[in-house]
Amino acid sequence: MNASTEAGKRKQPGSYNADDIEVLEGLEAVRKRPGMYIGGTGSGGLTHLLWEIIDNGVDEAAGGHARLLEVFLHSDGSYEVTDNGRGIPIEKKEGDATALEVVFTELHAGGKFGNGAYGASGGLHGVGASVVNALATRIEVEVDRGGATHRLEFQDQIAGHTAKNGRFSPNHALKKIAKIPANRTGTRVRFWPDTEIFDPEAKIDYAEVKDRLGQVCFLVPGLKIRLSDKRRGSRRPAEELVSQGGLADYVDFLSGEAQPVTGLVAISGSGVFTEKVPIDGKLTEVTRECQVDIALRWVQGYETSLVSFVNTIPTPDGGTHLSGFERALTTALNQAVSTADPRKLRKLKGEAKVQKEDAQEGLIAVVRTVFLEPQFRGQTKRELGTPEVQKIVGAVVRDGFKAWFEGTAKGSKKVHVKAILDKVVDAIVNRISTKQALDNRRKAAQLGNNGLPDKLADCRLHPEGELLIVEGDSAAGPAKRARDSAWQAVLPLRGKVVNAGKSTKKSVLDNAEATALFTAVGSGSGPEFDLESRRYDRVILLADADVDGSHIRCLVLTLIYHYMKPLLEQGHIYAAQPPTHALVLGSEKEFLYSEQQLQARVADLDRKGRRYRITRFKGLGEMDDDELLETTLNPETRILRRITLEDAKDAEKAFAVMMGAPVEPRKDFIIKHSRDYGHALDI
């Protein structure tokens, strides 16, 4: 080949021809674009590998073939799942390759394509085991079947066996490693993820695995699951999970300590639909049966918890089955409310319609559909896409609630029907009253000409600035003088903040201090809260370092937790840590933040024979401007505590104690944990 010919074949910048078309074969496509199959290469993607293997064992259990599932998180970075199901078929499938090898090496190979091997399964894709193999450096599979334990290994996606000297040899044949009773069956899969593919910080979280396995127990009653964490540093004992009550138990679990308003409502039914699927290369119309099972109840409070599943797969993003449930629930309650004609709604006339938020206020529900070959939107199976399921679920829910409200359903009682309607009617009244109160607030005289609270000392930079929330005018004065008015705004709370943990929406919006905070932040409240429209990057609570300050801080945090939650989720809420004392040593001043620090420092000074004077700060209002600037306002010297949603979740019991009816537990908690929210963070 001469030089000119070789130059002609050389790729030119910007060219696009047949040589640019790349064909990825087998598992190479998965390794090239793992995000298309498992959602990403972070912790979520790594965890998804474990789900794929777990789902295979769960499908065996859901079909009635397995009663035990074991999951091991090993110290060498591998993960293992075992079940006592039927065992992956071991007969030859393609040439010398067995069905076991085909399952782990070929995409879209499995027993879940409507051929009768599974009544229902996690999905139609058939790529689970092969994707795990594609993204692992090593896999060991053992199958108990036919009176023997059969073993096959995969190294870098190639089937074979490892000799005693550690050398791996490619091989299609299965190795019999033990004789077992003829009736013993099962599968054990252990895999080592490819660390070159996944992010260095990717890890599988024990709590997340436990939660998912807990869900499985509710979906497959009687299935026993054992979870063992053998990783370095873990001292957790092995845990065993099992449930006999199914979805009813799950609703009880989700309800927690919330006070039930109604008894458990159980609705079930089925329907059929047709769809076209490829069979022998031709699109063929087939009939599917869809089973629907729902358990729900209403509890005190306003939070909603809707959990949905398709077969044994959780669908956190919902889908057609959840849409069918939500629409039918609203329709059924509208019909029931119209028939009951409650006096509370008569004066509202045309506005007295049940909306989605009314129907779901305080609702705890688990929705599950079971049918062959569900269609998911995306490989990670987070959202159901099968359109016909929406109508089936809707019909089952409407019929189920009709029987409940008529008193003909099993377990239906008049007292429960009345409780449901009362709960929904109160939600309608509160929603309409809240809207009216909000409209009135917007026109209230306390708002200045610019639409902001008149007591707000605003800053000039938005949204880069921060909002300082202080107690009353005594603290507001020094804060306003010491702040940097370019980027620090001050909002004093002059009255009592409403207890958002147990107050109605109307009561919250009727509270002047709550409304002032909502207006100042500028993002609305509740479901309408818009984080992007906030006027400040940080909201900082400047409460006094005493019991009253802790109480006020907790009330404000409760308000934010219930009505401005995205601020917590994205880390925009902080609490200042003001000093409790100042030590004056000659011309120097030293700030201390607890009684323990003071005692230790005083003891040290006494040993050294130093003279000092102690000043105690009962509140921020007692500090002079320079002291407040140094300890609370200056980013270079102050100490803040970031409060996140996770902190709020950890303190959920604290919120219950603080906002509950008994006084003594609340008093004890305030004294003991007056500054236990969040973690110390120097800013």
Chosen domain end from 407, 436, 465: 436
Residues 264, 383 within the same domain: yes
Nearest to 669, CA basis, from 578, 500, 547: 547
The predicted structure's pLDDT at residue 499: 84
Nearest to 247, CA basis, from 210, 207, 290, 217: 217
Distance in angstroms (rounded) separating the CA atoms of residues 515 and 518: 5
pLDDT average, residue stretch 230-249: 92
Q: Is the pLDDT higher at 586 or at 100?
A: 100
**Residue 438: HSE in the Cβ half-sphere, 13 Å Cα cutoff:** 14
Chosen domain end from 436, 471, 486: 436
pLDDT average, residue stretch 593-608: 89
The predicted structure's pLDDT at residue 650: 58
Q: Is the pLDDT higher at 554 or at 225?
A: 225
- DSSP secondary structure of 556-572: HHHHHHHH-HHHHHTT-
The pLDDT-based confidence of 257 (bands split at 50, 70, 90) is confident
Q: What angle do CA 61, 292, 415 make, to 5 degrees?
A: 115
Pairing between β-strand 97-98 and β-strand 92-94 as defined by DSSP bridges: antiparallel
Residues 467, 537 within the same domain: yes
The predicted structure's pLDDT at residue 124: 32
Q: Would you name the residues annotated as active-site residues?
A: 471, 544, 546, 548
20 in a structural domain: no
Nearest to 365, CA basis, from 402, 393, 405: 393
Residues 156, 184 within the same domain: yes
| Omega cis (within 30) before 200 | no
| Rounded-to-10 torsion of CA 345, 346, 348, 353 | 50
Residues 231, 253 within the same domain: no
The predicted structure's pLDDT at residue 228: 96
Among 58-72, 443-457, 534-548, the range scoring the smallest mean pLDDT is 443-457
Residues 181, 321 within the same domain: no
237 in a structural domain: yes
Among 26-35, 329-338, 441-450, the range scoring the smallest mean pLDDT is 441-450
CATH number at residue 256: 3.30.230.10
Residues 77, 134 within the same domain: yes
Q: Is the pLDDT higher at 308 or at 21?
A: 308
Q: Is residue 488 within 8 Å of residue 421, measured between CB atoms?
A: no
The predicted structure's pLDDT at residue 547: 63
Nearest to 453, CA basis, from 412, 490, 421: 490
The predicted structure's pLDDT at residue 577: 83
Question: What is the rounded average pLDDT for all residues in the chain?
Answer: 84
Distance in angstroms (rounded) separating the CA atoms of residues 45 and 199: 10
Host domain of residue 363: 248-436
585 in a structural domain: no
The predicted structure's pLDDT at residue 377: 85
CATH number at residue 566: 3.40.50.670
Whole-number CA gyration radius for the chain: 31
pLDDT average, residue stretch 81-97: 91
Q: Write out the two tokens for 138.
A: 């090593």
Residues 321, 414 within the same domain: yes
Residues 289, 392 within the same domain: yes
Q: What is the pLDDT of residues 360-408, one digit of tens each?
A: 999 999 999 999 889 888 767 789 999 999 999 999 999 999 999 988 8
Q: What is the pLDDT of residues 192-219, one digit of tens each?
A: 999 999 999 999 999 999 999 999 999 9
Q: Write out the two tokens for 95.
A: 């040439």
Q: Is residue 541 within 8 Å of residue 574, measured between CB atoms?
A: yes
Percent above pLDDT 70 for the chain:
83
562 in a structural domain: yes
For residue 8, pLDDT over 50 is answered with no
327 in a structural domain: yes
Strands ordered across the beta sheet of 538-542: 488-493, 466-471, 538-542, 573-576, 639-643, 679-682
The predicted structure's pLDDT at residue 680: 37
pLDDT average, residue stretch 38-54: 92
222 in a structural domain: yes
The predicted structure's pLDDT at residue 107: 78
Among 250-259, 384-393, 655-664, the range scoring the smallest mean pLDDT is 655-664
The predicted structure's pLDDT at residue 683: 38
Q: 272: part of which helix (H) or strand (E)?
A: strand 265-279
Residues 569, 432 within the same domain: no
Q: Which residues contact residue 343 at a Cβ distance below 8 angstroms, ignoring those fewer than 6 apart? A: none
Which amino acid is residue 168, in one-letter code?
F
Chosen domain end from 226, 244, 262: 244
The predicted structure's pLDDT at residue 6: 46
Residues 511, 530 within the same domain: yes
The predicted structure's pLDDT at residue 308: 96
pLDDT average, residue stretch 634-644: 87
The total number of residues shown for the chain amounts to: 683
Among 278-282, 289-293, 370-374, 630-634, the range scoring the smallest mean pLDDT is 278-282
Nearest to 251, CA basis, from 301, 295, 291: 295
Q: 296: part of which helix (H) or strand (E)?
A: strand 282-298
The predicted structure's pLDDT at residue 669: 54
In the DSSP assignment, the letter for residue 82 is E
The predicted structure's pLDDT at residue 17: 53
Distance in angstroms (rounded) separating the CA atoms of residues 117 and 122: 13
467 in a structural domain: yes
- DSSP secondary structure of 588-631: EEEEE-SHHHHHHHHHHHHHHT---EEEE-SSGGGS-HHHHIII
Other residues' Cβ atoms within 10 Å of the Cβ of residue 640: 20
Which amino acid is residue 305, in one-letter code?
S
Count structural domains, the chain.
Answer: 3
For residue 183, pLDDT over 60 is answered with yes
Q: What is the pLDDT of residues 437-479, one digit of tens each?
A: 666 555 443 444 457 888 899 999 998 999 999 888 777 888 8
For residue 241, pLDDT over 70 is answered with yes
413 in a structural domain: yes
CATH number at residue 93: 3.30.565.10
Which amino acid is residue 488, in one-letter code?
Q
Q: What is the pLDDT of residues 213-235, one digit of tens each?
A: 999 999 999 999 999 999 998 88
The predicted structure's pLDDT at residue 564: 92
pTM of the model: 0.63
Residues 126, 45 within the same domain: yes
CA distances, 24 to each of 17, 28, 30, 33 (Å) = 17, 6, 9, 10
Residues 416, 457 within the same domain: no
Q: Is residue 262 within 8 Å of residue 364, measured between CB atoms?
A: no
The pLDDT-based confidence of 542 (bands split at 50, 70, 90) is confident
